Amino acid sequence: MPLWIPITIAAAFLQNLRSALQRQVARDLTATSATYVRFLFGLPVALIYVWILLSTFDVKLPTPPPAFYVYAIIGGIAQIIGTVLLVALFAHRNFVVGTTYSKTETVQTALFGIFVFGEVITLGAGIGIAVSLLGVIAISMARTDATPAALITSLTERAALMGIGSGAAYGIAAVCYRAGSLSLNMEGFLLPAAITLAVVLTIQTVLMTGWLLWKDRTSLIATLKNWPASLAIGVAGAVGSIGWFTAMTLQNAAYVRALGQIELVFTFAVSWFWFREQANAKEIAGVLLIIGGLVVLVLGT
């Protein structure tokens, strides 16, 4: 089994854990500050990880080319924008449509990789991405009266545009992170991925700290006061990000993000077997489509 597959699955599991922890602190923090903690408290973990790798492999930090910083800045800002748009959708009246369109991230990641960086998507992998996307959409619409026709007719609505924008931002971020890591031209994959993550988290932490100091100092103070829970989010998020960045250094970002949709399977497994929640036919069909699509993706790469 290629190494990027178990790394991606582990990253998806940790992302699921981080999301659960973020939901727990949502009562005490604003949406912006709840997003901020993953950067602020994740940065020390990323820096320690880089230090451990440098010590272990006995190498010096490389001098990154200018392109590396361009990719890191664009990717870091894009991820922040994608998160802000996604969080904003939850307060929108027609958020189901928006969040459903945000799931087009994997397809948009593939398109950005093809047209901007000339990456190649195999036919089998493309089919797998498309099938798993149908599964994600089915789950998103499972408990609503929305229909595929309604999705198409709502394409010009604000919620739909916000969702597409969120997916595009995450796609840009994923492709930029892979490009930045590869631009270091280093041997191996652990260290370039770690350096890219540390630089991106530094950029995101500085930008969001400045924003909160300017616009919402109350939330910034609340974040620091709530440091035990925030630290748990930061650690889980940073370790998960190490997995994402490492996998995207090893493999096409579109493949990694597509396989990462297994996170939804983890979510439903917990709800079914742990919380004994009932699933309807659309949700079961969606999960089966995701699993089937991911199997086709892995076999087609």
Q: For the chain, what are the domain ranges?
A: 4-300
For the ranges 163-177, 245-259, 279-293, the lowest mean pLDDT is seen at: 279-293
- pLDDT at residue 153 tops 90: no
Cβ(256)–Cβ(7) below 8 Å: no
Which pLDDT does position 7 carry in this prediction?
95
pLDDT band at 149 (very low <50, low <70, confident <90, very high): low
Q: Torsion over CA of 28, 101, 167 and 251, rounded to 10 degrees?
A: 110
The pTM (predicted TM-score) of the whole model is: 0.86
Least confident of 14-18, 229-233, 278-282, 283-287: 278-282
| Residue 137 and residue 290 in contact, taking contact as beta carbons nearer than 8 Å | no
